[in-house]
A and B are shown apart, each in its own frame.
Chain A
Amino acid sequence: MALTHSPEALRAEGIRKSFGSLEVLKGVDLTACKGDVIAIIGGSGSGKSTLLRCLNLLEHPTAGSLRIDGEEVGLTPDGRGHLGAASNAQIRRIRTKLAMVFQSFNLWSHMTLLENVTEVPVRVLGIPRDKATVEAMELLDRVGLADKANVYPAFLSGGQQQRGAIARALAVQPKVMLFDEPTSALDPELVGEVLKVITSLAEEGRTMILVTHEMGFARDVANHVVFLRDGLVEEQGLPAQVLGNPKSERLARFLGNVGRTSDHSTDYGRQ
């Protein structure tokens, strides 16, 4: 990567993934050092979400290797032609270091916001409940939802749910945060509030990998942009370079297409 001598937080090498005869990822390398904010962009079907989901083994890659926080993830054939976790205990431990924020929020709908945030710290990480509750309230306060702590997800707006999901992810004190198109399911007027929270996380030096369609946001927040096309990294580098001065014609055309539809993404700071 272009920058930093800070320690490596995540390294994925040669990630391949096939669904049946369709090869979605054709050997992708991705390295995130501590404090990196990496934006993965690309058209639909380019494999960017699949790549993100391979990083925490929600999808089993067909080939490749993963190293998270200095620890090699044991991979073994899962009997269906893909690589699954060699050790359930290890992958569970590693997943708690890789909190994921989903496109469709995926808050647990039978739990209040506070319960959503404390569930994993208390029951997976074994943090005492009163301590976890205090921390959860601080996180909810930080994403502007302290007054909604005892509300169920169904009664929150999409933006509020996504901010709650970010608080849930922060609660496990992840080494790397994975964002899978965090604003794609939101009404345009709710995008800004979520991007603002993500920006503040980037500013405090959190390591993040984002799949996003918000080009303006990627330019402002990321320090590295990866353009995926047809399962391969077509171009990558500093945001100003990749987004401002694309080398490949395909990236230029892609940016031309999305540029017209995502103007609102530059407004997030002003709300």
Chain B
Amino acid sequence: MSETNLTAAQAPVVASGRSEPTIGLWGWVILAVAFAYAGYAMRWDWLLDWYPQLIRGLGTTMLLLATTVFLGMLLAIPIGLVQVFGPRWLSIPARAFCTVIRGTPLLLQLWLLYYGLGSLFPQFPAIRDSFLWPYLRQAWPYAVLSLTLSYAAYEGEVFRGAFAGVPKGQLEAARSFGMSPWHSFRRIWFPQAFHRALPTLAGETILQLKATPLVATITVMDIYSVAAQVRQQTYLTYEPLLVISVVYIIVAMGLLKLFATLTNTRYMRAPN
């Protein structure tokens, strides 16, 4: 009797809405024509020389994305949380952080960290002599830091709304049954807030992917900076850009699929 044997009629089904749009016959025809033209009229021989670097660049991009999304999320959760129920000395700095980071261009933050902080550090012998120096003299820590802060600021705002949106009564019920604050957070509050945040997180993560080329300006060799190199050395204008455009589209579609799988929960219509 306790088995999970729902009949089809009992199984809760969330209307999935529209089915995925397909590009249709004409879409395929247009795509085929475009590819045929590109293959005929453009130069692709450089790919043979450059594909190892392109793949390494894609690796850097993906690593950068995964690291900063993960770290940014870890930061965003407390930033969102303290704005909902934290004391003022925590919630005000959290709100200020979100406002400043979201109100300034990412490129500016990146440069301020890399050129500002990065040129300040060598003046302190303590830092120069520390075990961190071999890393701090490279560009990628600044790329990771600024992308993480940016993601944390946007997602902190998303999590603030998500945490606030969980019905208070359910948290009260948790309290009334003797759950500790941590237990209630881990089992009741966070799971629901996370699922509320997921659809927004999907979009934000794709924006984060498309923000990664900025790190090329501080010499991090992501896939965009490889393409820029190709352009400089082969004098080809469009081909490298077209190739990485296709790569970005494929990655973005993969991310959407991933989030769609995560978002597919059955309880999403909240009862109260």
Contacts and interface: CB of A to CB of B under 8 A. Distances in A.
B269 A172 contact: no
B221 to A, nearest CB: 42
Contact of B175 (A58, A137, A150): A58
B12 A110 contact: no
B172 A58 contact: yes
B85 interface: no
Interface residues of A, number: 44
B270 interface: yes
B10 A134 contact: no
Contact of A134 (B2, B174, B270, B271): B2
A58 B176 contact: yes
Contacts, number: 106
B120 interface: no
B271 A109 contact: yes
A120 B175 contact: no
B180 interface: yes
Interface string B229-272: 00000000000000000000000000000000000011111111
B195 A110 contact: yes
A95 B180 CA distance: 11
- Taking residues whose C-beta sits less than 8 angstroms from the other chain, chain B's interface range is 20 to 34
B271 A154 contact: yes
A105 B2 contact: no
Contacts of A152: 12, 266-267
A245 interface: no
A232 B266 CA distance: 46
Given A92-B180, A123-B187, A137-B2, 7 more contacts: A58-B175, A92-B178, A98-B176, A104-B169, A106-B173, A108-B188, A150-B6
A147 B180 CA distance: 31
Contacts of B176: 56, 58, 95, 98-100
B4 interface: yes
A104 B272 contact: yes
A239 B2 CA distance: 41
A30 interface: no
B133 to A, nearest CB: 45
Contacts of A94: 178
B12 A124 contact: no
B179 A120 contact: yes
A95 B175 CA distance: 8
9 contacts: A95-B178, A104-B272, A105-B169, A106-B167, A111-B267, A151-B12, A152-B12, A153-B271, A154-B267
A127 interface: no
Given A105-B272, A123-B183, A124-B183, A110 B178 contact: no
B199 interface: no
A120 B169 contact: no
A93 to B, nearest CB: 7
B178 A109 contact: no
Interface string B186-200: 011001100100000
B107 to A, nearest CB: 39
B177 interface: yes
Nearest to A133: B2
A99 B177 contact: yes
A132 B265 CA distance: 25
B217 interface: no
A121 B176 CA distance: 13
